[in-house]
Amino acid sequence: EQAEIGLIGLGVMGSNLALNIAEKGNRIAVFNRSPEATRNFHAEAGALQDRIVPCETLEAFVAAIRPPRPIIIMIKAGEPVDQQMELLKPYLSAGDIMIDAGNANFHDTIRRFDNLKDSGLTFIGMGVSGGEEGARHGPSIMVGGTEESWKRVETVLTSISARFNGEPCVAWLGENGAGHFVKTIHNGIEYADMQMIAEIYGILRDGLRMDAAEIGEVFGRWNGGRLNSYLTEITEKVLKATDPVSGKPMVDMIVDAAGQKGTGKWSVIEAQNLGVAATAIEAAVAGRILSSQKAEREAAETIFGLPTPVELPTDKAAFIDDLESALLAAKIGAYAQGFAVMAAASAHYNWNLPMPTIARIWRAGCIIRSQFLDEITSAFTADPQAANLIVTPAFSQMVKDADGALRRVVSHAALSGLPVPALSSALAYFDAYRRGRGTANLIQAQRDFFGAHGFDRIDGVDQHHGPWGS
C-alpha cells in the first residue's frame, strides 16, 4: 500500500508533523538527508511505526508515495529549500506537488511556484503555526497554491489540523504565496501581541514594583476574561516559573535581548510596500532591535539614569484594570493593522484572501490563538469587506469602552519613563485614524512651498499652488 503523503526533513517540526500525520490514520513516507536520522525516527515511532515508511534514497521515497504525490519539505527556510527541490525534481512526475511547510518568505514562494509552472509539477507554500506542540497535535495551517493541488491534500491536512469547536483550522487561502504571506502576517501580529504584553509587564515590574509571581497572577486572572489567549496563558506560566539554578524567578534570570528570524520584519516591509500603516507591528520589530542593543542601552543608562515612576493616576487595583483594557484596545489596533495589510496584499497579488476564513483558522492551533479571534471571525463574517476592523460594530464598541484606559496607561508610562512603543503607537494610530481633519494640509503646503508639488483645496477651487512667493 502506497503512502498518502511524503515528508522530507526530520528535524523537530518535521518529525512532529510526520507523527501527527501518521497518528491521524494516514500512511506517510519519510526521508532525511542523514539515513541514520530516518532510521532512528522510525525506530522511535512506537505504535505509529506501521504507518511510517522510512526511505533512505529519494528514489525509494518518491516511489513509496501515491501519485499525484504531495511531498512536504520541512527544512531550514531559504537556499536549502531550492536545493532540496532540485534534488527531488528528477524523480517526480506530472501532477506531483512539492509543499514547503517552513517559514518561507512569500516572495520566494511565488518565485518557486512560477518556476514550476511549465514543468507539470506544482508547488504549495504552507504556513504552519503552533510550534512543536502544534505540529505534533494540531497546528493551524495556511495553504497557498492551485485549488487542484489543495484538493489533493485537503483530507490529510484537515485530519492533522487543530480544531476550534470542532471546525478544522486549515484552509486554502489562494494561489502561490497566499499561505506563506498570511503566515508572515500572523507572525507580525504575534510580534505585536508579545511586545504589548512585555510592555504591560514592564509597567507592572518597574512602575508598580511587583515581582514576577505577582505579575503572573495578574495575567492568570486576565486569561479568564477578555484577554483569554494562548499568549496570555503562557505569560502566566512563564512568570510563575522558578529557575532551578538560582531559585529566583526564571524570567528574572533571562537576558533582555530578543531574537528574531525575519517574519516580523517581512510583515513591516510588505506593509510599507503596500502603503499600509502597520505601526504597532513596526514598533514591535523595532522593540526587538533595540532590545538586542544591550551594551549600548547600558551605556546610555549610566549617562541618563532612570526616571522615578510617578504616582498612579488611580488606586492600584483600578490601574491594573486599566492595564487590562489598555492591552485589549492596543491589541485591536495591532490586529486591525495586520488585517489591513492582508486586504491590501490580497488586491495587489490577486489572491482574493478570505478574511473571515483567516480569522477562523487562527482561532486554534496557532501562537496567537484566542477567544478574541472568534470575535474577529464574527466581525468579518458579518462584513467581509470592512475597511478596518476598528470600525466594525463589535470592535468599535470595544475601542470606545477601552481607549480611555489606553490613554491613561500610555500617559502614565510616558511620565514614568517606561517605554511602551507598541501600546503608544496603537493609540496614535487610533487617534490619527478616527480624526477626519488631520494635519497633512500643512505637509502639503510645505511640499508645495519647496517643491511645487501642488495640493487639493477643500473648496474644490481649481488652484493648486500657494501664494508662497508673495
Q: How many CB atoms lie within 10 A of CB 1?
A: 8
Q: Is 220 in the site for ligand 6PG (CB under 6 A)?
A: no
Q: Is 223 in the site for ligand 6PG (CB under 6 A)?
A: no
Q: How many CB atoms lie within 10 A of CB 156?
A: 20
C-beta of 27 vs 180, nearer to ligand 6PG: 180
- The three cell numbers of residue 445 are 503646503
190 an active-site residue?
yes
CB of 181 to ligand 6PG, least distance (A): 14
In which order are the strands placed within the sheet that holds 5-8?
A: 52-55, 28-31, 5-8, 70-73, 97-100, 122-129, 140-144, 170-174
Rounded Cα gap, residues 223 and 236, in angstroms: 8
- In the chain, how many H helices and how many E strands? 19, 10
Q: Which of 71, 178, 366, 410 binds ligand 6PG (CB under 6 A)?
A: 366
Q: Is 267 in the site for ligand 6PG (CB under 6 A)?
A: no
Q: Which of 130, 168, 207, 338 binds ligand 6PG (CB under 6 A)?
A: 130
Q: Which of 80, 95, 131, 202 binds ligand 6PG (CB under 6 A)?
A: 131
Name which of 157, 257, 147, 150 is nearest 198 in CA terms: 257
Q: Is 76 in the site for ligand 6PG (CB under 6 A)?
A: no
Of 46-54, 106-114, 256-264, 457-465, which part binds ligand 6PG (CB under 6 A)? 256-264
User: What are phi and psi for residue 408, nearest 5 degrees?
Assistant: -65, -40
CB of 76 to ligand 6PG, least distance (A): 12
- Residue 349 assigned as binding residue: no
Q: Is 282 in the site for ligand 6PG (CB under 6 A)?
A: no
User: What are phi and psi for residue 104, nearest 5 degrees?
Assistant: -80, 155
Tell me, residue by residue from 178 to 217, as one string, x for binding to ligand 6PG by CB under 6 A and - for no binding: ---------x--x---------------------------
Rounded Cα gap, residues 375 and 392, in angstroms: 11
Please tell me whether the peptide bond between 68 and the residue prior to it is cis, using omega within 30 degrees of 0.
Answer: yes
Residue with cell 507591528: 281
Residues 378-437 that bind ligand 6PG (CB under 6 A): none
C-beta of 260 vs 396, nearer to ligand 6PG: 260
The angle formed by the CA atoms of residues 284, 285 and 290, to the nearest 5 degrees, is: 95
Q: Which of 90, 244, 259, 460 binds ligand 6PG (CB under 6 A)?
A: 259
Name which of 384, 367, 353 is nearest 144 in CA terms: 353
Residues 4-63 that bind ligand 6PG (CB under 6 A): none
- Residue 176 assigned as binding residue: no
316 an active-site residue?
no
- The three cell numbers of residue 99 are 509543499
Residues whose CB falls within 8 Å of the CB of residue 166, separated by 6 or more in sequence, listed in order: none
Name which of 357, 350, 351, 360 is nearest 174 in CA terms: 351
- Shortest Cβ contact with ligand 6PG: which residue? 129
User: What are phi and psi for residue 13, nearest 5 degrees?
Assistant: -65, -45
- The three cell numbers of residue 63 are 516511489
C-beta of 14 vs 264, nearer to ligand 6PG: 264
C-beta of 368 vs 398, nearer to ligand 6PG: 368
- Residue 180 assigned as binding residue: no
From 4, 117, 154, 190, active-site residue: 190
- The three cell numbers of residue 402 are 477601552
- Residue 131 assigned as binding residue: yes
- Residue 15 assigned as binding residue: no
Burial of 387 (0-12, 13-18, 19+ CB in 10 A): exposed
Residue with cell 488631520: 438
Q: Which of 110, 218, 367, 389 binds ligand 6PG (CB under 6 A)?
A: 367
- Residue 75 assigned as binding residue: yes
CB of 29 to ligand 6PG, least distance (A): 25
Total residues interacting with ligand 6PG, rule: CB under 6 A: 13
- Residue 453 assigned as binding residue: yes
Answer whether 340's CB lies under 8 Å from 270's CB: no
C-beta of 51 vs 180, nearer to ligand 6PG: 180
The angle formed by the CA atoms of residues 130, 135 and 139, to the nearest 5 degrees, is: 50
From 175, 183, 236, 331, active-site residue: 183
- Residue 447 assigned as binding residue: yes
Q: Is 261 in the site for ligand 6PG (CB under 6 A)?
A: yes
Of 14-22, 127-135, 204-212, 344-352, which part binds ligand 6PG (CB under 6 A)? 127-135
Q: Is 166 in the site for ligand 6PG (CB under 6 A)?
A: no
CB of 389 to ligand 6PG, least distance (A): 20
Distances (CA, A) of 389 to 73, 123, 225, 336, 454: 35, 32, 21, 5, 33
- Residue 191 assigned as binding residue: yes
Rounded Cα gap, residues 191 and 285, in angstroms: 7
Using CB under 6 A, list all residues that contact ligand 6PG.
103, 129-131, 187, 190, 259-261, 263-264, 366-367
Point out the annotated binding site for substrate: 103, 129-131, 186-187, 191, 261, 288, 447, 453
Q: Name the residues annotated as catalytic.
A: 183, 190
